[in-house]
Every structure is written in structure tokens, then in C-alpha cells.
Amino acid sequence: MKKNILGLFLLATVLFSCGEQSDKKTKGETAQKDENTFEYVVEEFADLRILRYQVPGWENLSLKEQKLVYYLVQAGLSGRDIMWDQNYRYNLAIRNALENIYKTYNGDKSSDSWKAFEVYLKRVWFSNGIHHHYSNDKIKPGFDRDFFETLLKETSTDLDGAIVDVLFNDEDAKKVNLDASKGLIEGSAVNFYGEGITAEEVDAFYAGMKSPDPKKPLSFGLNSKLVKENGKLVEKVWKSGGMYGEAIDKIIYWLEKAVEVAENEKQGEALKLLVEYYKTGDLKTWDDYNVAWTGATEGNIDYINSFIEVYNDPKGYRGSYETIVQIKDFEMSKKMEVLAHNAQWFEDHSPLMEEHKKENVVGVSYKTVIVAGEAGDASPSTPIGVNLPNANWIRAAHGSKSVSLGNIIEAYGQAGSGDRLKEFVNDEEELKLAQQYAELGGKLHTALHEVVGHASGKLNPGVGETKETLKSYASTLEEGRADLVGLYFIMDPKIQELGLVDDYKKVAMAEYDGYIRNGLLTQLIRLEPGSDVEEAHMRNRQWVSAWVFEQGQKDNVIEKLNRDGKTYYNINDYDKLRTLFGKLLRETQRIKSEGDYEAAKALVEGYGVKVDQEIHREVLVRNEAFDTPPYSGFVNPVLTPETDENGEITAIAVKQPASLAEQMLYYSDQYGFLPEVN
């Protein structure tokens, strides 16, 4: 599970290859003006801001550790194009055409149409395709078709006319559609299903699959595309020799080099299992790998790699390709691992029904880490926290790993977020609380969400996985449930007793203020006028906030105010609000534990989807005063090896790319392993 930076509104709103690629030049330059200055902001365009992040402590790693990081980053980037193809079947062809135009066009580059083309290409780069990374809506070009046809002709760029049509018409308008009335699959452009497949057929197909051990259900559908061949449904498995095999073979190559420099036996064995999984596509091997990876907690280097989060599948089966390579932040991890050590206390003292509590919360590990490289679903738009593995039975029996991406959070904070906070807070008291405690509150809530939240609770005996029981509502319900755990416990004196804060009440008050303000007001700046809420995390913040607001009206727990035509929310009773969070957490866990689909639907559809259009218009007008775009993402640092006369790596330097365009073009050149049609 991923925790997105958008939940922390106050904090933010290429590689040299060994062997056969050693003759190619490395792109990248430092963003360090002097030893005390680092340029976090790369550029801004449309609704996006591109940032850089540093890799502090790199020089303290041994050469062997640096090699491990480098090999893992290379493995991750080798699968980059998988995410592009997963997002939409024409993405790779479109990207190739757009990049060829960008590199070869010699016409007038001062015209508004060309500038609009550049912005469109950058938006496509950022979203790994032609659909917006957050809203899932197709990105509309700011230039007309005639101009685009001219660009194609003048640069001798080939792009099928049917694909050109898609750029300018209403076809495939939504990457992920969660409105069942429009057809969950038929209405989604994501490339996880072949033509002519319905949600009902998918349900029937997987209902016929049985795991060898019912207590250890396999993650059916996680690593395949479902298509029809001769009228029958079959899976095209993502593996060596299968779909995406060209890229996966490169991933395997670098992972095998990583095995050679693994820090310890457990880490090495986990990497070997990951290689075996990529070679075979076997889901039992995937489970074996996750058990081994969860148990490999020693060492300074860790990673996430493979087909993991299922948010992009409207049916919740298929995993998007993702990779994050991370270095342990020793100081912060030591401070925060106290949550993991006390996970059982939180479970025992949670407001859940007794039958839904875990008797033994196993192996939750929490670290603050330094990101060294990301790709796929994690880049350019990155999470700030991750808790894995996702399989409930593995989490229950073997625990999980939770990480907070410390240098990513730090970069968001250093880049600044303008004066939006002052515009949307209710009064000076709320502003001062936010300025003093919001950053700490956000970090602590993220930690509680990942370490305690996702590890909490259990399913009733015989109840299937949530993707089967709660279907399209599973992701947003789980993220909301984890948020509620964090919201409930952040106002518990235990937090101060554990030495995590000096004043738990004020930290909690700041987080409550920020959460309600974000859930009911400020996150609306990310929506187009007239839109419903689509993204799972955004939905969960709204349904949580809207539910407690409604339930607290009798006691005026949260007051809705209007001054000079502007809407504000003021929390009058923080203790009662905590009680409401606990009540909603209890019900949300019940829904998950019992697999109550109708209750999940009522909660999400009733509170998390529809937007008050009058308030939305107001928020958009108020936001016009601020220049900072609502979304941020990152270019990755460039790891540049130096080699001796024998080709052996002797040192690895960290450099920074000059621009998004430089990095994206370099990535396409170095890691474009897939054909346009897969």
C-alpha cells in the first residue's frame, strides 16, 4: 500500500550501464550551487511542479553497497516501459512519436502552438502516458490537429491515423473508470484487459480458480493481461519469454548482478526468488519471495520491485510495475521504529470489535529511508510512504515492512507550498498550530497509517480477499481504514509516552485541522469543474471527512462557516472528533472483515464520490491567487559509475539532471526495451 504526498497538503502541494552500454554518455549535472545550496525546483508547467531530491549519506556507503544500489536502480529502470504500456495500449507509440518531433523539429519554436506541444509532452512524460496521473482523465492537447499533422509531416514521424484520432477525440477518455454503470472495464482505457471483456466475465474467470492452500490465497491476475483468444479468456503472463519479456530479461540481468553484492544471505535469497518469479511468472514463487523479502530486515539497502499496487485495475487484480530503491536513514528510523515495537499495544487498544482484532501482530518493521531511485508507478509522481506486502495472509503470518521516504518528504518541504495555507485556515489559532505542528503531525500520521494501520485488523474466517468481496471499493476502503487508525491514535497520550512528540494534543489538533481542511476543501483544487472524485486516496479523505462532519452535526463537532463568500471548517471539539474517527474505524473494519460490499458501496458512494459544485467553484477561484501547481513530482538523481581498465566499477557518483526533458529522453534511449505493441 502507498501513502501519497497529497495526504500531506501542508508539506507540498541517465544512468551509465556496464558491458554493452558502456560507450553511451551519461546525462546529468549537479544542482548544487555551493555546499549550502541545493536547487529543489526544476521547472513548473500546467498543473505540475518538477522537483529534485538529494541522497544524503551516499558517501558513507561502502563501494559494495553503492554497487547494490546501482544494480537495483538499473533493474528498476529496465522495466520503465512496462508501466507506460500498462497505462494505455498506444502510449509507447505516442511517446515515440512525440519525442521524435521534439528532437527533430526545426520550425518556429516561439509559436503558442509549439509551446503548447512542449507542455503536452511534459505532461505525458509525467503521467507515464496520455491520461492524467491523478484524475485519470485523458490529457487534452493545447494545440489543434492541423498543427500536429504539420509536425508529423515536417519531422517524418509515423503515427497511425487511428492513434492520432484518439489524441483529439473522446475515445478512451478515462484511464480507470470506477463508475460501474459505465462498465468498469469497458469504460477504462488501462491496458489490463483485451477487447470485449466485461467485469462479469472477469469475476467468473477468477471464481473458477482455487488456491492449493485456501488459507494462503494466491494473487490471481496480479502479473498478467486477460484477453480473449478463440472466444476463451486466457492470461498473457508478464515474465521472461512472455508478455514484456524483453524488458523483464533486462530486469533479471541487473537483479542477478545485485545478488552478487547482496549485504547478507537473507537479502540474497529474496533477490534470487524475485529473479525466479520473473523467469516463471509463478504466483506461488511470488508469495515465497514476499515472505523472504519481509523477513530480510537486516542491512542498509532495501528495494521494492515488481507488479505491486492494484489501484489502476478497476477490478483490483492486476499490479502496476513499480520500483523504489532505498537506503536506511539510521537516525530517523531509530526514532520511529518504536511504533513497530508497540504495534500490539495499538491493536489491543483500538476501537475495533474484539473479534476483528489480531491476537498477534507479527513482524511490522518501520524505517525512514533515503530514496536513491524510482521508476514505473512510483515515478515521477512518488508516494511518501509504503507498506508491503499487500497479501493479507502474509501480513498476518509474517508481518510487513513499512517505510517513510524521508528525503522525498524533505524535498517537498524545502520546495515550499506558497501561501495557500493562510487562505484556507479558519483563524490565527489554526494557522499557528499548523505552522508549529503540521509537519510533525503529517509525518506521524503517515507512520501510524503504514505501520499500525495496514497491519491492523483481520478478516473473518472464510471471508475472501477484499478485491473479491469489496471489488472496486477495496482500495479506497483500505486507505481510509489505515488513515482512521492513524487519526485515532495520533490523539492518544501513548504517543507522547513513547517519546515521539512533546505535546500530543497539539500535534493531533494540527493533523485533525489539516485532514478535515484537505478532505472537504483544499484537495478539490485537483479536480476539473464538474468532476466527481475518482482517485482512491482522494476518495478516502473525502468519505472520512464528510462522514465525521455529518455525524458530528448534532453536537457541532465540526462547524461549517462562511465569511465574505468563503467557506471554512472549524473543529469545535477535538475529543469528540476522535471518538467519531474511532466509531468510523470500527465500522470500516467490520465492512472489511465481513466483506460487506453493500456497506462499502454506501460509504464510498454516499460520502466520497460526489462533489459540492458550488464549493468546488469557490475553491478554484480562491486558488487562482497562487502560482504553485497543485501536483509535484521528481526527476531522479543519476548514478554514474567510474571504471578501471578492466571495466570494474571503482566509484559511483550522484549527479542531478538539468531538466525533465533531459531525463525522459535519456530514459527512452537507454531503457526503451519494448516494442510499441505488446
C-alpha cell at 451: 505501520
Label each residue of 24-40 as H, E or C: CCCCCCCCEEECCEECC
DSSP state of 2: E
Contact by Cβ (8 Å): 634, 50: yes
AA identity, residue 126: F
* Confidence label for 371 from pLDDT (cuts 50, 70 and 90): very high
657 within some domain: no
pLDDT at 385: 86
pLDDT of residue 583: 98
> Exposed, middle or buried by CB within 10 Å (0-12, 13-18, 19+), for 506?
middle
**pLDDT, tens digit, for every residue of 605-623?**
999 999 999 999 999 999 9
pLDDT above 50 for 35? no
Average pLDDT over the chain, rounded to an integer? 92
Residue 626 pLDDT grade (very low, low, confident, very high; cuts 50, 70, 90) = confident
How is the chain split among helix, strand and coil, in percent rounded to 5? 50, 15, 35
Check: CB of residue 184 under 8 Å from CB of residue 178.
yes
User: Is residue 30 in a domain?
Assistant: yes
Question: What phi, psi does 55 have (nearest 5°)?
Answer: -125, 75
What confidence score (pLDDT) does residue 419 get? Answer: 77
Give the single-character DSSP code of 364.
E
Is-contact 328 58, C-beta < 8 A?
no
Classify residue 575: in a domain, yes or no. yes
183-217 pLDDT tens trace = 999 999 999 999 999 999 999 999 999 999 999 99
Whether residue 467 is contained in a domain is answered as yes
> Quick one: cell of 344?
500490539
Give the per-residue pLDDT at 331: 73
Pairing label, strands 383-388, 558-563: unpaired
**DSSP summary character for residue 61:** S
Would you say residue 461 has pLDDT above 90?
A: yes
H or E element, residue 210: none
Q: How far apart are CA 595 and CA 598, in angstroms?
A: 9
- Of 443 and 93, the structure prediction assigns the larger pLDDT to 93
Q: Provide the pLDDT for residue 415.
A: 80
Residue, of 446 and 597, whose pLDDT is higher: 597
Task: Assign residue 83 a region (left: φ > 0; alpha: ψ between -120 and 50; beta: otherwise).
Answer: alpha
Does residue 17 carry a pLDDT above 70?
Answer: no
pLDDT in tens, 372-391: 999 999 999 999 889 899 99
Cell of 210: 482455487
- Spatial distance between the Cα atoms of 4 and 601, rounded to a whole number of angstroms: 23
d(CA 97, CA 470): 40
How far lies 90's CA from each of 25, 124, 149, 668, in Å? 29, 12, 18, 16
Exposure class string for 569-587: b at 16+ Cβ within 10 A, else e: bbbeebebbbbbbbbbbbb
Q: Of the ranges 2-11, 119-128, 264-273, 479-488, which one carries the lowest mean pLDDT score? A: 2-11
Query: Average pLDDT, stretch 262-277?
Result: 98
Q: Between these two residues, 298 and 20, which has the higher pLDDT value? A: 298
Band (365; pLDDT cuts 50, 70, 90)? confident
- 642: three-class secondary structure by DSSP: strand
Sheet holding 301-307, edge to edge: 2-4, 383-388, 400-405, 364-376, 321-328, 301-307
What percent of the chain stands above pLDDT 70?
94
Tell me the pLDDT band of 340, cut-offs 50, 70 and 90. confident
| Residue 36: pLDDT band with limits 50, 70, 90 | low
CA distances from 104 to 99, 152, 153, 154, 441 (A): 9, 10, 11, 9, 49
How far is the C-alpha of 435 from the C-alpha of 510, rounded, in Å?
9
pLDDT tens, residue by residue, 529-549: 998 998 888 999 999 999 999
Percentage of the chain beyond pLDDT 90 is 82
The verdict on residue 204 lying in a domain is: no
**Cα torsion at 530, 420, 31, 376 (round to 10°)?**
-30
The predicted structure's pLDDT at residue 451 = 87
Q: Is residue 333 part of a domain?
A: yes
Half-sphere exposure of 517 (CA within 13 A, CB side): 24
Higher pLDDT, 339 or 258: 258
Q: Is 12 among the domain residues?
A: yes
Give a yes or no: residue 351 inside a domain: yes
pLDDT for 2 equals 67
**Domain carrying residue 479:** 2-78+243-634
**Domains in the chain, number:** 1
pLDDT band at 3 (very low <50, low <70, confident <90, very high): low
Interval 399-424: pLDDT, tens = 999 888 989 988 987 886 557 889 99
**CA distance linking residue 68 with residue 592, whole number of Å:** 39
